[in-house]
Structure 1
Amino acid sequence: MDWIVITVLFFILGLSAILIIGTLVSLPQVGDERKNLIKMKAQSYTFAVAMGYVLIQLFKNIYNGSNEGINPFTFLITISIIYLISLLFFRKKYGS
């Protein structure tokens, strides 16, 4: 049963990586400034969400008195999906 969950997580992670790479490659070739702006905005938004999630988990663990960490697979998949969505959003907003 565990191998099914791991396989699904790796599939989602791989699919997210392929979609992110495809989106980055297909950014408009008009100018480097626009491409850099789109990537910078997507990266900064994803970083803010990731740090917010880490702080929430930190305060939750302090409040509960537990020492458990964050599951790295789900964290990586969640952050990659957030990056993909924000990259597509900013590409639509600033791209052609």
Structure 2
Amino acid sequence: MDWVKIVYSVILLVCGILIFVAPFSQKGDERRNFIKTKAQSYAFIVVIGMLLLEVGESIYLTIQGNTSYNSNENSPIVLLTVISIIYLATLIFYRKKYGD
């Protein structure tokens, strides 16, 4: 494996852990929990939508009889990156919106 991919994976893993663990270290009120819950639910909806599109594409190409279809599944690193970016963006958005 290329060393750049290893470094990128480690950096992504550390950032992901910090993003998901940092809010739990702070004792907060109900508003903070509400903001985290909204950001998590939005990120979950986007991930489910991405996976549904992938399944739909696979079904469509199978019905069309495309036998040369090589399932271009999303890489786990790409999926984790997208989830982390969406969660961080929505967390920042809701923090500004609800004032935390």
- Relative to the length of structure 1, the TM-score reads 0.75
Give unpaired runs (5+ residues) of structure 1.
Answer: none
Q: Mean Cα displacement is larger for which, 4-13 or 77-86?
A: 4-13
Q: Mean Cα displacement is larger for which, 5-14 or 84-93?
A: 5-14
- Relative to the length of structure 2, the TM-score reads 0.72
CA contact (8 A) 1:16 1:84 kept: no
Residue among 84, 88, 95 paired with 2:92: 88
* Distance of 1:13 and 1:85 partners within structure 2: 18
Secondary structure of the 1:70 match is coil
Q: Which has the larger radius of gyration?
A: 2
Residue among 29, 34, 39 paired with 1:37: 34
Superposition pairs of residues 4-43 of structure 1, within 5 angstroms: 4-22=4-22, 24=23, 29=28, 31=29, 33-43=30-40
State the 1:38 CA deviation.
0.4
Q: Does 1:49 align with 2:50?
A: no
AA of the residue aligned to 1:4: V
AA of the residue aligned to 1:5: K
CA contact (8 A) 1:50 1:79 kept: yes
Q: How much is the aligned-residue C-alpha RMSD, in angstroms?
A: 2.4
Q: Deviations over 1:19-64 (max 9, x none)?
A: 4444x258784x2x20111011001100110011101111122223
AA of the residue aligned to 2:14: G
Aligned structure 1 segments of 4 or more residues deviating by more than 4 angstroms? 25-28
* Distance of 1:27 and 1:75 partners within structure 2: 27
CA contact (8 A) 1:61 1:67 kept: no
* Percent identical residues: 41
